[in-house]
Structure 1
Amino acid sequence: MRRTAVQVDGDAISYLTAGQDGPVVLLLHGTYWNRVWLPVLGGLAEAGLRPVAVDFPGLGRSEGELTLETATVPALADWVTRFVSAMEIPGPVAVAGHDIGGAVAQHLLAHDLLEVARLALVNSVTYDSWPAPHVARLLDPAVAGTITAEEFLAARRQAVATDLAGAATEERVADYLDPWTDPRVRRSWLAMAGAAASRYTLDLVPALRRSTTPKLLIWGEDDDFEKVEYAEKFSLEIPRTTLVRIPDAKHIPTENAPHRIARALADFFAV
């Protein structure tokens, strides 16, 4: 596994990858960063795939900074097309998304921004499942503007520890928190939170119902916000969808069952 960067819109955009050759699997994160995909990269590479887990601008290890305008789902989806072009990734592209990254992935498919060969969602936002209450309060700029660095980091520490469930260790929590010690990354996170709106996924439902692209849902069953009931609804309403449930896992199941999830993703994408 290695971390490298590519220039997109004048910023050095960081991404994790593994393997050398093979079909690319594009992995998109949401309100965390590409660290959520780290546990499954090796398994995907061993299956003959080339996973590419990108950090959105201003998040994780990428340069740049998101604003309320550039952090919307449509804007991020447009940005992904520029990243794919900069990486010279040939189509069709296999795409997986976690959290808001899942909304971006759905948007890419529904609006034909990329030729999406297969779509996987891991505890993704869907329908009207989002924004979560702790994010919704930040839609008010007056509230977001009063949050101190100490308050921000304390809130994210609590969220990380909760979302990792049984995989939470002090070292792992600290690793997840590290990018947010940078004020620029905190501002980008607040922009993503402030741009959150369920209309972006609700508007996609008609197109997704017409889609014949194969889809895989992988879900931590104990997620407090992106509840498994939303995944069940999606799998019933959206054609060619399979649901894999991960027991005893919350919002970041890749940390709780990395081998099982890597195998499920590899079996789905390596066709």
Structure 2
Amino acid sequence: MNEIIESKVLRTEVRVDGVPASYLTVEQDGPVVLLLHGTYWSRVWLPVMEGLGAAGLRPVAVDLPGIGRSGGELTLETGTVPALADWVARFASALGLSGPIAVAGHDIGGAIAQHLLVHDQLEVSRLALVNSVTYDSWPVPGVARFRDPEVVAATTADELLTARRRAMTQALGGAATEELITDYLAPWTEEGVRRSWMALVGAADNRYTQEAVPALRRNTTPKLLVWGEDDGFQKVAYAERFAAEMPHTTLMRVPDAGHIPMENAPGPIARALADFFTA
């Protein structure tokens, strides 16, 4: 089923392992840019989709299994970074994508993107990380608490929605409005999404990004970091360290922007990503 989200942005789906995988895209010919989310959903990429499309790119922002609008349900085993990277590779295959693919990751989606790159699960031509987890920067306290099975078992739907509202408000920063927060929170009204999200964050483990560091230091793939400077979750100091240590890496700082800078500065970020991916 196809749904027009904005004038040029379409939500559609493809089956992966027999289960619907929902994604946003601008349907046109052009180099594919695979956009990965983390503890949010594909909605984080919506503000820059048309801008990427206008640059001649074909952006594809997928919802991970059981998250956002995708079917299925994550478990602690399928919610790990390696398992999700494997799933993303199967998603790309289901779309018929071949050859070098540009990849961008936000939040834990950045850990998946790094894993895809260093383990050659996709032929990644260029890598962009937007307020991504790196090194030992994660899981943050609001996520780490869900690594405790007793906390998960005791958390009610209302409590989780309240916690997500609080985190969403902080992540959106100056862009936060009641309408936008409600839009972002919509998937969490579904029980299956809540279970999948708790599995995703329950499986959060910074050993995956730490283990990737030696390979990233040797990797010559061009990399772009886009960072909201006011991010209270993923501090800009981590981006500065990554840019200093990893070859062929450029850091774009976004002032007055938080953890989801696409909502604070969609135009400049879309242009920076488009310039990077079409270079």
Aligned 1:109-258 pairs, distance under 5 A: 109-258=117-266
SS at match of 1:204: helix
Letter of the structure 2 residue corresponding to residue 28 of structure 1: L
Query: Is the contact between residue 44 and residue 263 of structure 1 (CA under 8 Å) also seen in structure 2?
Result: yes
Displacement of 1:19 in angstroms is 4.0
Q: Measure the CA separation in 2 of the matches of 1:210 and 1:53.
A: 28
Displacement of 1:225 in angstroms is 1.9
Between Structure 1 and Structure 2, how many residues are aligned? Answer: 271
Query: Is the contact between residue 95 and residue 116 of structure 1 (CA under 8 Å) also seen in structure 2?
Result: yes
- Report the equivalent of 1:262: 270
Q: Measure the CA separation in 2 of the matches of 1:213 and 1:232.
A: 18
Q: Measure the CA separation in 2 of the matches of 1:113 and 1:156.
A: 32
Q: Which 4+ stretches in 1 moved above 6 angstroms?
A: none
Query: Is the contact between residue 19 and residue 46 of structure 1 (CA under 8 Å) also seen in structure 2?
Result: no
Displacement of 1:137 in angstroms is 1.1
Q: Measure the CA separation in 2 of the matches of 1:16 and 1:265.
A: 17
TM-score for the superposition, normalised by structure 1: 0.99
Q: Measure the CA separation in 2 of the matches of 1:239 and 1:230.
A: 15
From 34, 51, 58, the counterpart of 1:26: 34
CA RMSD of aligned residues (A): 0.5
- Report the equivalent of 1:8: 16
1:56 aligns with 2:64: yes
- Report the equivalent of 1:83: 91
- Report the equivalent of 2:113: 105
SS at match of 1:26: strand
Letter of the structure 1 residue corresponding to residue 36 of structure 2: L
Query: Is the contact between residue 19 and residue 49 of structure 1 (CA under 8 Å) also seen in structure 2?
Result: no
Q: Measure the CA separation in 2 of the matches of 1:11 and 1:132.
A: 31
Q: Measure the CA separation in 2 of the matches of 1:222 and 1:136.
A: 21
Query: Is the contact between residue 104 and residue 110 of structure 2 (CA under 8 Å) also seen in structure 1?
Result: yes
Q: Measure the CA separation in 2 of the matches of 1:171 and 1:212.
A: 42
What do residues 105-149 of structure 1 show as CA deviations (whole Å, max 9, x unaligned)? 000001111110000000000000000011111111111111000
Letter of the structure 2 residue corresponding to residue 27 of structure 1: L
Q: Measure the CA separation in 2 of the matches of 1:102 and 1:267.
A: 19
Letter of the structure 2 residue corresponding to residue 22 of structure 1: G
TM-score for the superposition, normalised by structure 2: 0.96
